[in-house]
Amino acid sequence: MRTVPESHEKDNSALSNLFHRYLTGVLLTLLSEKGEDCAAEVVQALFRRQHHEKFIPGLRKLGLVQEPHAVACAKYHYLSNHLGGVSVAFVAESEKKAWVRYLPPRWIFDGTALASIPTKVARAMLHGWHGHNGVSLENRRLGFVCTGQTMDGSPGLEGYYIEEDYELDPDQRVRFRFGEQCPPIDYELLPQLSAEEWPSERIAKASRKYSMEYVRNLLPVLSEVLGPLQAQGILYRAGRRIGMQFSAETQKKLGTTDPVNMLASLFSAQGDRITIVGAQIQQHGWQLMAGLEKECVPEWMDGLAGLWEGLIAVVDSRRRLVLNDRMDLGDSFFAWDLRHATEPKPF
């Protein structure tokens, strides 16, 4: 038996990239299998859940609680997304009006996936998060006005937070006014990360956490919208495809083609203690879902297994990944066995 050391920068980078692609893959699978309305419902619920978990604590952590609400919101989106590798800029036009601009390439609608995302799904993100900022701040006069969307042909998602002189009705919290344009942004004046405070390893960990939080919240949202069994199927099918598609890239990032070492590194990067016994990987705990233990159902881990299976299928099509869910039997770890098989597993 050997214990896998704490994850390195390359492991964090590999996991961040893989979970990022997985998130996009799940949304595309929802679109193709369940349709636009279901995908929009999931996106709105996902961003609302992220909002409730991150927004107010994030304002405090970033020292923005004393800022005017419109300015604080715009700054929050710039600072919180910056570490995740999302291209965001902001400019305050006044204390009651502040612009935010998400520049291409759009992070969540990765690569050519952007061409398949309907406007309704893109707008769902704004309804889930941006339109709820005023509610969370107990300021019913605060709303968000979208002036352009990338999938509609605009050069980025653009809009502004504005504090009106009257309370907004729920359907006014997100409004669309195409034709208005963001004032010029001086990118040289935007806050920059200190290289001393944020070395590359710390940035890799922050980027990994950013991607992990999306997947962490995606699982319960899918389960709530679709039910656990249908959610498992979506997670598994999307994961297997994404795992295969990005297996070569992941191998390169990790610097190994050994399937046991690959999975051990990725599990370790999630924050779990990992031990290896022969061809078995023992995952002690599940930090990805830490704090959500009361919500967890077996279908989530079974669905996510598709991602790991896809990675391994490309490395060695003769090996099968089998999850022995020993934590259900009272043990303190999940056991992942890599076994040889003569027949392909049906997809």
Domain ranges within the chain, ordered by starting residue? 35-189, 202-340
Confidence of residue 222 (pLDDT cuts 50, 70, 90): very high
CATH class of 35-189: alpha beta
Q: How much is the pLDDT for 327?
A: 55
Q: How much is the pLDDT for 204?
A: 76
Q: Are 246 and 312 in contact (CB under 8 A)?
A: no
Considering only residues 307 and 62, tell me which one the structure prediction assigns the higher pLDDT. Answer: 307
What pTM does this model have?
Answer: 0.92
Report residue 100: phi and psi, to 5°. -135, 140
Q: How much is the pLDDT for 42?
A: 98
Closest CA to 72 of 163, 186, 172, 182: 163
Count the neighbouring beta carbons within 10 Å of the beta carbon of residue 3. 13
Query: Over the stretch 324-345, which tens digit does the pLDDT of each residue have?
Result: 865 554 557 889 999 876 545 5
Same CATH fold, 202-340 and 35-189?
no
CA 168/CA 162 separation, integer angstroms: 11
Which residue is listed with tokens 């590798």?
85
In single-letter form, the type of residue at position 26 comes to: V
Q: State mean pLDDT over 265-276.
A: 94
Confidence of residue 200 (pLDDT cuts 50, 70, 90): confident
Inter-CA distances, 302 with 67, 68, 228, 298, 331, Å: 44, 45, 10, 6, 18
Domain 202-340: CATH superfamily is Trafficking protein particle complex subunit 3 (3.30.1380.20)
Q: For the chain, what is the total number of helices (H) and then of strands (E)?
A: 10, 10
Q: How much is the pLDDT for 127?
A: 98
Report residue 319: phi and psi, to 5°. -100, 145
Q: State mean pLDDT over 102-123.
A: 91
Q: How much is the pLDDT for 347?
A: 47
Mean pLDDT of the chain, nearest integer? 91
